[in-house]
Amino acid sequence: MLRVGTMAELFGAAETLALTREQVGDRLAILTNGGAAGVLATDALMAAGGHLATLSNETVSALDRMLPASWSRGNPVDILGDASGRRYADALAVLIGDRELDAILVLNCPTGLAEPDEAARAVIGALKAAEPTALRGRNVITAWLGEASARPARQLFVDARIATYESPDSAVSAFMNRVRHHDNQQLLMETPSVRTEAFEADSASARRVIAAAIAAGKSWLDQKEIGVVFTAYGLRLVPSYLAADPSGAATIAASVGFPVALKICCPDITRKSDVGAVALNLDQADRVRQEAIRMLERVRSARPEARPDGFLIQPMVLRPGAVELRAGLVEDPVFGPLVAFGQGGASVEIHHDSSLELPPLNSLLARRLMARTRVSRLLRGYRGGQTANIESVVELLIPRPARRRSPGDP
């Protein structure tokens, strides 16, 4: 239902689920008699990934007719420090009538101009007076700030079975618990889409390559072996060509077409960029040959024990504005295989931008896996950037139906 991090969150989440309704959306309105409390609640909402609702023009006009001229005229709805119970009730009734709001957080700050008990009774009365269907799929939660002065008001809410909290941030956490609870229930109910583009997996070829690598004492597959495994499961790779020496690399590059990427082949080096064993965007045969010579020198200097056995030439894939991603499987000692997703590239260890999920994934789980990373903002077109083909990434992360070869197949 919900994942929490502390014992306090555990009891808070249980209280929230017991005293609130099933909530469909995530647009929160904040009603407060203190501007600072409203700002604190907004900050907590933004930090938690929530959404501050936009008040409709009709709602703003209705509030204009009943509130002092200096009210905030937006969300949070600041009804000022001298707000009486009547002002609370009237403003809350208007917000309840706005169907674009999924939940309302009512805050009260202690002042010398109004009684917190009176405001609490007014809020309770407004909720009782609302139409039975007005809050279907929506919630009203409260947070009365203060200690001794707020205790009687909180007890009124408890007696009325209205969720109440001691601070704006704890109330926002309760709201987000409802949002996440709804999302989790949707996950449980989702039926995976049917994928008809079944492919023929050649698992036997992949197993042979991996078994041979293990028998040879390898910890990593070389480029040729990787190509066999990926091809066995219908995954495309950039074409790769092997050359024995710098001159052969230049000749192959000329036949492939420029620009090309040049990498050293060496079973002892898994992170080629760390030792200068990768060169990109080479646009002439002579540059390929010279770079290959320098690459050998760099490798011999950085890793004297390494045993280079040639070069790998690949055509450059030039996609301006593209985002490098990383996807794969990792083995956890407790949970077993996990699907990993995050930002890729040479600086992946610096970004530490990755997320994990238990397989198998469906489309919704795959999207949530992606949404937990910072790079997902780039994929959605951050600051005017081009929106990525997110559906193709989802397709990569979820399983495809495979027709396995039977022993009698050719």
**Residue extents of the structural domains in the chain:** 7-189, 203-315, 325-397
* Structure confidence at residue 410 as a pLDDT band (50, 70, 90): very low
Look at the domain 7-189 and name its fold.
Rossmann fold (3.40.50)
Determine the average pLDDT of the residues in 2-29.
Answer: 89
pTM over 0.85: no
pLDDT in tens, 214-232: 999 988 888 889 989 998 9
pLDDT at residue 398, rounded to an integer = 85
Residues above pLDDT 70, as percent of the chain:
94
Which CATH number applies to 325-397? 3.30.470.20
Residue 204 makes CB contacts below 8 A (sequence gap 6+) with: 405
Look over the chain and give the mean of its residue pLDDT values, rounded to a whole number.
89
Q: How far is CA 62 from CA 54, 124, 193, 213, 364, in A?
A: 15, 21, 45, 73, 39
Residue 251 makes CB contacts below 8 A (sequence gap 6+) with: 243, 285
Q: Does residue 355 have a pLDDT over 80? A: yes
* Structure confidence at residue 145 as a pLDDT band (50, 70, 90): very high
* Structure confidence at residue 59 as a pLDDT band (50, 70, 90): very high
Q: Does residue 154 have a pLDDT over 50? A: yes
Q: Does residue 152 have a pLDDT over 80? A: yes
pLDDT in tens, 262-315: 999 988 888 888 888 999 999 999 999 999 999 999 999 999 998 898 999 999
What is the C-alpha separation between 304 and 291, in angstroms, rounded?
A: 19
Which CATH number applies to 203-315? 3.30.1490.20
CA nearest to 342, candidates 392, 393, 280, 398: 393
What is the C-alpha separation between 100 and 26, in angstroms, rounded?
A: 10
What is the C-alpha separation between 138 and 122, in angstroms, rounded?
A: 19
Beta-strand pair 27-32/77-78: parallel
